[in-house]
Amino acid sequence: MPRSRPLSARLRALLTLPAFALLCGCDMVVLNPAGDVARQQGDLVIVSTLLMLLIIIPVMALVVLFAWRYRESNKEAHYEPDWDHSTGLELVIWSAPLLIIICLGAITWVSTHLLDPYRPLARTGPNQPVAANVKPLEVQVVALDWKWLFIYPEQGIATVNEMAAPVGRPIRFRISASSVMNSFYIPALAGQIYAMPAMETPLNAVFDKTGVFQGFSANYSGHGFSKMRFKAHSVDQAGFDAWVAEARKAGGNLDRAAYLQLERPSEGDPVRRFAAVETGLFDRVTNLCVQPGKMCMHQMMALDAEGGMGKAGLHNVRHVEDKTSATGTHMHGGKSFVGEICADKMDVAVRAQPKPVRQAPLAGAGLKQPSGAPTPTAPSVASETRPRPLS
């Protein structure tokens, strides 16, 4: 009589059934996106995989074939211990991978330019070019600890851990961060892109179907990273207008003081809406000058390019140890140092005087026009320019 299967084996087989059920319910959002950019990126994954399978499948099949054909019990297998070369086999081994690499390289080069996140969208879908009169929806994104802030300058509203956009309208994200580097990622919309403090990264994308999609940070950023998620709503124009109206009813003004409070680290924040936003807030976040009295980074760089502010810049000396202590998120006993400007030894009043314009060719900073007459300390310019005899 045949022996029955052990109970443990049957139990393991039963335990695998829920796993298969879960896999059947998975939504492969990368390959089933809701935006044209993400769909083209998903197509690249499929095409690249198929091209590589052209090599992988034959190699795996040949491994099985060789193992079976040249097994020890097969006495009819032809054995050639002195075989060392086959021109035809060499051509197949080298030409097939080379052609695949060329195809992958060409696809990568073209897609890198066409799907550049900095590049404005030329279409919203296949055979659907963007009309000339369509203005992209600007969404300013700030990665906070540990939540997402979305500012809509055109609508004058802001939200926390929630965003919305009308389907079919191009979206231009302007992305930055408040403290550490994060990664802004809505898999159904477009690929991930980094959010970095003191920098702005653009991302152009578009929704082509309605729904509610998941967005999150794809770069570890600290203790509350796992809860740094938000909902991305893709709605029609009427639904977007209703969403904006709902945000305006919520009240509240996101000015610089409110932002500094919002910037404090927190986890699992609920959705919040602000009916008004201070003009230029995102630019101040990017230039690290939300705090009152803080010089903006772009102003500092412009002054540094001119040589600094000299004594007039001494008032920028502040008692601050780092960015977090300036915002009040941490209490530290800081030391005085120049926090906003690099000053030089020249007085700003002297450098502010108009300088005469010299039309003659310059020979050096503050030097006179060289002449052919020799000087006590240097030979003549004319003699330096004449060829010297070889010794």
The answer to which of 11-25, 168-182, 327-341, 362-376 has the lowest mean pLDDT is 327-341
The pair phi, psi for residue 223, each rounded to 5°, is: -60, -45
> Looking at residue 230, what is its pLDDT?
94
The answer to which of 17-21, 95-99, 183-187, 299-303 has the lowest mean pLDDT is 17-21
pLDDT tens across 35-85, in order? 889 899 988 989 999 999 998 998 999 999 988 888 888 888 777 777 778
Give the pairing of strands 137-144 and 147-152: antiparallel
Mean pLDDT of the chain: 78
Nearest to 115 by CA among 59, 17, 183, 36: 36
Share of the chain above pLDDT 90, in %: 38
What average pLDDT score do residues 299-314 get? Answer: 69
> Looking at residue 339, what is its pLDDT?
45
What average pLDDT score do residues 323-337 get? Answer: 44
Strand, coil or helix: 47: helix
pLDDT tens across 78-114, in order? 777 777 788 888 888 888 889 999 999 999 899 888 8
228 pLDDT band (50/70/90 cuts)? very high
Residue 208, pLDDT above cutoff 60: yes
379 pLDDT band (50/70/90 cuts)? very low
For residue 288, what are the contacts with CB-CB under 8 A and spacing of at least 6?
A: 197, 198, 294, 296, 297, 323
The answer to which of 118-132, 292-306, 342-356 has the lowest mean pLDDT is 342-356
What average pLDDT score do residues 360-372 get? Answer: 48
What average pLDDT score do residues 321-338 get? Answer: 44
Residue 154, pLDDT above cutoff 80: yes
Residue 165, pLDDT above cutoff 60: yes
What average pLDDT score do residues 151-161 get? Answer: 95
Residue 285, pLDDT above cutoff 90: yes
> Looking at residue 148, what is its pLDDT?
95
Angle subtended at Cα 272 by Cα 269 and Cα 139, rounded to the nearest 5 degrees: 105
What average pLDDT score do residues 102-130 get? Answer: 89
Residue with tokens 């005469």: 356
Angstrom distance (rounded) from CA 8 to CA 331: 59
Q: What is the DSSP letter of 330?
A: S
Give the pairing of strands 201-205 and 162-166: unpaired
> Looking at residue 315, what is its pLDDT?
53
> Looking at residue 8, what is its pLDDT?
57
Residue 156, pLDDT above cutoff 90: yes
What average pLDDT score do residues 140-157 get? Answer: 94
Rounded to two decimals, what is the model's pTM? 0.70
Prior bond to 109 cis, omega within 30?
no
> Looking at residue 313, what is its pLDDT?
56
The answer to which of 137-141, 166-170, 222-226, 306-310 has the lowest mean pLDDT is 306-310
> Looking at residue 376, what is its pLDDT?
44
For the chain, the structural domain boundaries read 26-70+93-286, 297-349
For residue 233, what are the contacts with CB-CB under 8 A and spacing of at least 6?
A: 162, 163, 164, 165, 212, 213, 239, 243
Is residue 115 a contact partner of residue 37, using CB atoms and an 8 Å limit?
Answer: yes
CATH superfamily assigned to domain 26-70+93-286: Cupredoxins -  blue copper proteins (2.60.40.420)
Q: What number of helices (H) and strands (E) belong to the chain?
A: 10, 17
What average pLDDT score do residues 154-166 get? Answer: 95
Angstrom distance (rounded) from CA 352 to CA 367: 21
Share of the chain above pLDDT 70, in %: 71
Higher model confidence: residue 381 or residue 126? 126
> Looking at residue 296, what is its pLDDT?
84
Residue 299, pLDDT above cutoff 50: yes
137-144 β-sheet, strand order: 201-205, 171-177, 137-144, 147-152, 157-160, 272-274
> Looking at residue 210, what is its pLDDT?
92
Higher model confidence: residue 29 or residue 178? 178
